Structure 1
Amino acid sequence: MPTQLEIAMNTMIRIFHQYSCKEEDRFKLSKGELKMLLQRELTDFLLCQKDPQLVDKIMQDLDANKDNEVDFNEFVVMVAALTVACNDYFVEQLKKKGK
């Protein structure tokens, strides 16, 4: 039986490939595929943002090799950074409650 972490890893992999297979290179996200993934999988995150250029900025930040696509490694960097930010927020909220 898989552990919770193994299930989370499997989910990340499946979500990436669910969106990456829609256009050209099935192992990379185009800008359109990234936008669709963000809109459907990170809905609350996007709703909190006011910047209409957010997807373009995320694409530029993630696209380390500047090929105008996001590969799985670049995608994982985004998920990790968002997870760290959420954890930092959670820790701060706990600290405030502890005072």
Structure 2
Amino acid sequence: MEGAIKTVVMQYLSSAKGKESMGGKNFQKLVQSQLGNILGDTDSASAVKEMIKGLDDNQDGKVSFQEYMTLMGYLANSLSEQKSSGAAQEAK
């Protein structure tokens, strides 16, 4: 699990290129390269813009580390629910 946490942090830092937050193009590249199998429509710039709007608590048009972690939490929760419902279906 430690390795997974390090990977999440390092992917953000690499994509943000030393800045405190990530612009739309860098965020889209991160989403496409690292989350394309989990998130649909990552090739669509408009879909990624909508995702940024949903994450952008301070309305600066960028994704901060905290906002990125909100996405990670949402994705982890969604995967957990999928696995739980799948396990419940198998038990029937």
Identity in percent: 20
- The 3 A distance-change label for structure 1 pair 50 and 7 is closer
Cα distance between partner residues in 2 of 1:94 and 1:49: 27
- The 3 A distance-change label for structure 1 pair 51 and 31 is closer
Equivalent in 12, 30, 41 of residue 8 of structure 2: 12
1:7-63: CA deviation from partner (whole Å, max 9, x where unpaired)? 211111100011000xxx7121101111000000012134x4499432011100111
CA contact 2:15–2:26 (8 Å) conserved in 1: yes
Q: Stretches of 4+ moved more than 2 A in 1? A: 48-53
Q: Which runs of 5+ in 1 are unaligned?
A: none
Question: Which has the larger Rg?
Answer: 1
Count of residues in Structure 1 that have an aligned counterpart in Structure 2: 91
1:74-99: CA deviation from partner (whole Å, max 9, x where unpaired)? 00000110110011000000000000
TM-score (norm: length of structure 2)? 0.89
1:74 paired with 2:74, answer no
Cα RMSD (Å): 1.8
Q: Which runs of 5+ in 2 are unaligned?
A: none
